[in-house]
Amino acid sequence: MLCAQNLVAQQVQITLGPDEIGENQTWTVTVTVQNDRLKSYDNFPDIPGLQKRGTSSQSSTNIVNGQVSSSQSIIMTYLPQKQGTITVPSFTMTINGTKINVPGKKVKIGAPVQRQQATDPFSRFFNRDPKEDFFGRGETEFVDIKDDAFFALTTNKDNVYVGEGFTATLAFYVSDGNRAPLQFYELGKQLGEILKKVKPATCWEENFNIENIEGEGIQINGKDYTQYKLYQAVFYPLNAERIVFPSVGLEMIKYKVAKNPSFFGQNRQEDFKTFYSKEKVVRVKELPPHPMRDGVAVGDYRLDEKTTTNNIETGQSFSYQFNVYGEGNISSIEKPKLGKPDAFEFYEPNVRQDITRDKGRVAGTKSFSYFMIPREPGQYNLGDYFQWIFFNPKTAKYDTLSSSIKLAVTGESLKDEAISSNDLGSFYDKIGTVDNSLNKMGKPNWLAVFVYGFVAFSLALSAYLFFKK
């Protein structure tokens, strides 16, 4: 009755239903994964003339000559809307992250199939017909199967320093032994409301931006689970206030299962259940005493530095890069503290940062590119000019990244030239010696008084002549 389309090296099969069915029969599209788990799949296609009735799943394991093989299937059932010939269009489905193209076909919907009456002589001793059990009849009784799943918010650390990052993960977990059919329900809408309650206001957030929810096998206390990550981020506390993640609920579709399932009957009934996470608290500690405690970065960092030359003449410019890389809040890294620039002229650095969010951690690089001009010849250690202090939570100590580059400067001294370029002239030299008391502007200017009077007389005469006329 079924025609199979073997795809993806025969590891994934998409099986279409028969070419001809009765109006009272159902048609199916079946996705089967061999020797692997069905981790993710697209929506089943919409077919004109057929109405989706619901999905069911099944799995099997075979052992032949000591070789173990397994399969897992998800089945979408369609119900014909009327008699006639319908066209199943070609469609594409993404199974376990792989796109699979399925060619279409034509399906003939005929008259309802007649069901023969039972001829079993023992049927009179029972209150049902085996054929009716196969096709389904009357009212179906559904039962609630106990689920083996939970919803949780977890963190990789319970105690952190101010500025130290910790990873928070919000996920739904389903045991491999779970038998209760579960499905996500309006996840985007629910997740938006959940994150409003979960995200702490006293932390800097680095979001991993999960777009596709895919199952990942993990072990918890020796038990196998499939983890569906809904949200993950690294948080960096801005103060020592403890961080509380409240209990939140996730509503799931949980199907009830028919007590006496039939082949063509409705074997599942949609129901809802809300799973609640437990409250989670992360305690935050102040950094140890230090003169720069309120302004240092927190993380595990290293220094990578580069310069265009180690030998240069006075008056010539060269570039120097001070690159801080490691794990921590890269965005909060400030430029290094400069020593007294007595022998160099420094320009403000160009800043670039690269951040990588992967496998529950945030790392990256922040680069400071300086242009410098030496003013005095001599041997210089750039470590005297470039120093960057941070706190390492792994060692619980403050550390300093300083340059190890030595620079040889030759040529004439340009110190006097720099001083003369800053000379503002004799006008400003007299400011400290002249009297700064307030004085009148001087004697009245009689010429100005005469001019103003003449202008006023001319205006008055013009006005007189105008109105007289």
- 428-456 pLDDT, tens digit per residue, is 666 666 677 766 655 667 788 888 889 99
Residue 104 lies in a domain: yes
pTM of the model: 0.59
Contacts of 359 (CB under 8 A, 6+ apart): none
Q: Output the six-digit token pair for 202.
A: 């006293």
Residue 1 has a CB neighbour count (10 Å cut-off) of 7
- Based on the fold, state whether residues 175 and 95 are members of the same structural domain: no
Contacts of 377 (CB under 8 A, 6+ apart): 314, 409, 410, 411, 412, 413
- Based on the fold, state whether residues 257 and 356 are members of the same structural domain: no
Residue 90 lies in a domain: yes
H-assigned helices in 218-267: none
- 229-242 pLDDT, tens digit per residue, is 999 999 999 999 99
Residue 375 lies in a domain: yes
What's the CATH number where 65 sits?
A: 2.60.40
Lowest model confidence (mean pLDDT) among 45-54, 95-104, 116-125? 116-125
Spatial distance between the Cα atoms of 214 and 97, rounded to a whole number of angstroms: 9
DSSP string, 60-117: EEEEETTEEEEEEEEEEEEEE-SSEEEEE--EEEEETTEEEEE--EEEEEESPPPPPP
pLDDT band at residue 3 under the 50/70/90 scheme: very low
pLDDT band at residue 324 under the 50/70/90 scheme: very high
- Based on the fold, state whether residues 262 and 328 are members of the same structural domain: no
Contacts of 216 (CB under 8 A, 6+ apart): 226, 227, 228, 229
Q: Output the six-digit token pair for 430.
A: 């007299």
Residue 132 lies in a domain: no
Phi, psi of 298 (to 5 degrees): -120, 125
Q: Which residues pair with 60 in a beta bridge?
A: 71
- 395-432 pLDDT, tens digit per residue, is 999 999 999 999 999 988 887 665 555 555 555 666 66
Q: Output the six-digit token pair for 319.
A: 């570039």
Q: How many CA atoms lie within 13 A of 182 on its CB side?
A: 25
- Based on the fold, state whether residues 261 and 156 are members of the same structural domain: yes
Phi, psi of 459 (to 5 degrees): -65, -40
User: Which of 286, 314, 333 lies at the terminal end of a domain, its last residue?
Assistant: 286
Contacts of 252 (CB under 8 A, 6+ apart): 172, 182, 183, 184, 185, 272, 273, 274, 275
Residue 365 is predicted with a pLDDT of 93
Residue 321 lies in a domain: yes
Q: Which residues pair with 367 in a beta bridge?
A: 323, 352
- Based on the fold, state whether residues 181 and 271 are members of the same structural domain: yes
- Based on the fold, state whether residues 349 and 262 are members of the same structural domain: no
User: Which of 286, 313, 343 lies at the terminal end of a domain, its last residue?
Assistant: 286
Residue 383 lies in a domain: yes
Positive or negative, the CA dihedral 203, 206, 212, 214 is: negative
Which of 139-174 are b and which e, b meaning 16 or more Cβ less than 10 Å from the residue's Cβ? ebebeeeebbbbbbbbbeeeebbbbbbbbbbbbbbb
- Based on the fold, state whether residues 179 and 264 are members of the same structural domain: yes
User: Which of 252, 286, 320 lies at the terminal end of a domain, its last residue?
Assistant: 286
Spatial distance between the Cα atoms of 98 and 325, rounded to a whole number of angstroms: 36
- 366-380 pLDDT, tens digit per residue, is 999 999 999 889 999
Provide the domain count of the chain: 3
Domain span at 97: 8-110
Residue 65 is predicted with a pLDDT of 42
- 275-320 pLDDT, tens digit per residue, is 999 999 999 999 999 988 888 999 999 999 999 999 999 989 999 9
- Based on the fold, state whether residues 20 and 102 are members of the same structural domain: yes
